[in-house]
Amino acid sequence: MKSPQQPLSDWHLHCARRTVLGGGVIAYPTEAVWGLGCDPWDQEAVERVLSLKQRPMEKGLILVAASVDQIRFLLDPLPKEQQRQAMSHWPGPVTCLLPDVRQQIPQQVRGRHSSIAVRVSDHPVVRALCEAAGFPLVSTSCNPAGRQPARTSWQVRRYFEGELDWLVPGELGGNRQPSRIIDIVSGKQLR
């Protein structure tokens, strides 16, 4: 049986918050794999994440939030049924593709898409980070393109030694696979 998740210390949370608000890139444990994150509205930070991953901007990135309130601005313009569909999966390890009706998310995060991938996490470290930042964070698997996502802090260090601004301590959640992705318009599961 998996041991309960230890809460982040105030010091680690302060350092992670200061790093994100200062335009830095962090690595942190998520539900299934380690993630890379940053402020989605900081173009240079997003570009660094894309560069670290060797990921083309066109593919887009996921946003992760601590609560539905943090992404309410994306839900409010949608029809009520689409809002209910998305909220029925949260909090939890499900990423929903939401139409970015008002184009409120920067192009470098959305990529070539008119929708944005969003997850309201139930992982305590992810939630604490988003709450501390005061907004959703970029969340993408912590690995260079073509490599397996990091499942340990050791792998994170091996992939990105000296290139990250902060590594947040913690344990992965109990999921073995990255989050499912569901398009709330079509209802199709994409991953």
Residue 188 pLDDT class (50, 70, 90 cuts): confident
Residue labelled with tokens 């313009």 = 77
- b/e string for 159-174 if b means 16 or more Cβ within 10 A? bbeeebbbbbebbbbe
- In the sheet that holds 94-99, the strands lie side by side as 166-167, 26-29, 34-37, 137-141, 62-65, 115-120, 94-99, 180-183
For residue range 21-34, list pLDDT tens digits in order.
999 999 999 999 99
Q: What is the mean pLDDT of the chain?
A: 93
In this prediction, residue 5 carries a pLDDT of: 59
- In angstroms, the CA 168 to CA 18 distance is 12
Check whether 152 has a pLDDT greater than 50. Answer: yes
Q: What is the pLDDT of residues 84-132, one digit of tens each?
A: 999 999 999 999 999 998 899 999 999 999 999 999 999 999 999 999 9
How many Å from the N-terminal Cα to the C-terminal Cα in the chain? 27
Hey, CA dihedral for 132, 134, 138, 139, is it positive or negative? Answer: positive
Confidence band of 6 (pLDDT split at 50, 70, 90) = low
Residue 3 has pLDDT above 60, yes or no: no
Q: At what angle do helices 10-21 and 124-133 cross, to 10 degrees?
A: 50
What pLDDT is stored for residue 107 in this prediction?
Answer: 94
Q: What is the pLDDT of residue 4?
A: 45
Quote the tokens at residue 108: 């470098």
Domains of the chain: 10-183 (3.90.870.10)
Q: pTM here?
A: 0.92
* Residue type present at position 93: P
> Quick one: pLDDT at residue 2?
43
How do residues 14-70 score in pLDDT, each as one tens digit? 999 999 999 999 999 999 999 999 999 999 999 999 999 999 999 999 999 999 999
Query: What token pair was written down for 26?
Result: 């962090």
